[in-house]
Structure 1
Amino acid sequence: MTVNVAALIQSLGKTYQEIIDAGLIPYITKPTGDYGDPDLCLDMVKEGMHLAFKRDNNILYAIGIKIINEKNERYRFPNELPSPLVPKMNRTWIHSQFGEPEKALPPRPRLNKYVGWTELYTIMDASPPTSMQISYDLSERVKSISFLSTSEVRW
């Protein structure tokens, strides 16, 4: 089943139950988390998405989208991306669509491997205020995109 990604992004700040009632999640699986963790997560592997909720009130505050699966070159994100995003994007294309990022981290070592650029943008006219974080691979292809409530951005 496909997921309406744009509607899910507009649901940031809503509860898990409100999102279920709106039919935005294709199956009823409650988010889970480790004991003591302030967040609950719902991994939607078939949909290429990861949802994060606050444990205390079940409010959706972050949505992660996997664009490239480094372990499977044939992988394609199975849902329609919100405009102007497209299935194959690189850093130059993102800059042509969104301009220069508000914040950026260059390629760097992380644990035992290198990771590509990470950039942060604010989505204008979004309610609630929403930020978009883009992670690139070392070839500057968009690897993943996270949409999160701007109040949750920690840079």
Structure 2
Amino acid sequence: MTVNIEALIYSLEKSYPELIDNGVITYKTEPKGYAGSPNLNLEMAKEGLFLSFRRDGKIFNEMTLYIQHDKVKNWIFPNKPPLPLQSKMSRKWVHETFGLPDKSIPPRMIGTTMFGWVERFSIDGFHIPVTMRVAYDSDELVKSITYMPTSELRWQYFNLTSS
């Protein structure tokens, strides 16, 4: 099933029932979460998406696109990314397209796992202020992209230092 990613971004801060009623997502599986967690999650693995909702009101507050997949070789993101995104993007391409990030953290090793750059961008043109977080692999290719309302942004969430 293909999902309209741009429609999902425009649906940030809407409720899960609104997304279903408007046909933005057709999953009938309710988002779930651990007891005591402030968020409910809906993993749409085949579509390469992870959606998060605030438990209070099931308000859509975050979406991650898995451009690369750790467990699936030769993964190709199965949906049409919103313009100007592409299915394969380098860090250089992201900077040429979106400019320099608002914040970033350099690559680092945590335990035995190497993490690439993580950068944060403010995105204009949506119904609300939106923040885009881009995570790269060690070859500086985009691994995942997360969209969230800027009002939901917390320093601890991104743990980013000045670029």
TM-score, scaled relative to structure 2: 0.92
Indicate the SS of the match to 1:7: helix
Indicate the SS of the match to 2:97: helix
Using the TM superposition, give the Cα deviation of residue 127 of structure 1 relative to its aligned residue in structure 2, in angstroms: 1.6
Superposition misfits of 4+ residues, deviation over 6 angstroms? none
For residue 94 of structure 1, what is the aligned residue in structure 2?
A: 94
Using the TM superposition, give the Cα deviation of residue 58 of structure 1 relative to its aligned residue in structure 2, in angstroms: 0.6
For residue 160 of structure 2, what is the aligned residue in structure 1?
A: none
- Which segments of 5 or more consecutive residues in structure 2 lack a partner in the other structure? 156-163
Q: 1:125 & 1:62 partners in 2: Cα distance?
A: 17
Indicate the SS of the match to 1:148: strand
Q: 2:86 & 2:43 partners in 1: Cα distance?
A: 22
Indicate the SS of the match to 1:92: helix
Using the TM superposition, give the Cα deviation of residue 92 of structure 1 relative to its aligned residue in structure 2, in angstroms: 0.2
Using the TM superposition, give the Cα deviation of residue 152 of structure 1 relative to its aligned residue in structure 2, in angstroms: 1.4
Contact 1:15 1:57 in 2 (8 A): yes
Aligned-residue Cα RMSD (Å) equals 0.9
Using the TM superposition, give the Cα deviation of residue 149 of structure 1 relative to its aligned residue in structure 2, in angstroms: 0.8
Using the TM superposition, give the Cα deviation of residue 73 of structure 1 relative to its aligned residue in structure 2, in angstroms: 2.7
Contact 1:2 1:26 in 2 (8 A): no
Q: 1:34 & 1:70 partners in 2: Cα distance?
A: 24
Contact 1:5 1:82 in 2 (8 A): yes
Contact 1:131 1:149 in 2 (8 A): yes
Q: 1:112 & 1:52 partners in 2: Cα distance?
A: 28
Q: What is the identity, as a one-letter code, of the residue corresponding to 1:4?
A: N
For residue 127 of structure 2, what is the aligned residue in structure 1?
A: 127
For residue 63 of structure 1, what is the aligned residue in structure 2?
A: 63
- Which segments of 5 or more consecutive residues in structure 1 lack a partner in the other structure? none
Using the TM superposition, give the Cα deviation of residue 154 of structure 1 relative to its aligned residue in structure 2, in angstroms: 2.1
Q: 2:111 & 2:6 partners in 1: Cα distance?
A: 33
Indicate the SS of the match to 1:96: helix
Alignment: residue pair count? 155
Using the TM superposition, give the Cα deviation of residue 2 of structure 1 relative to its aligned residue in structure 2, in angstroms: 0.5
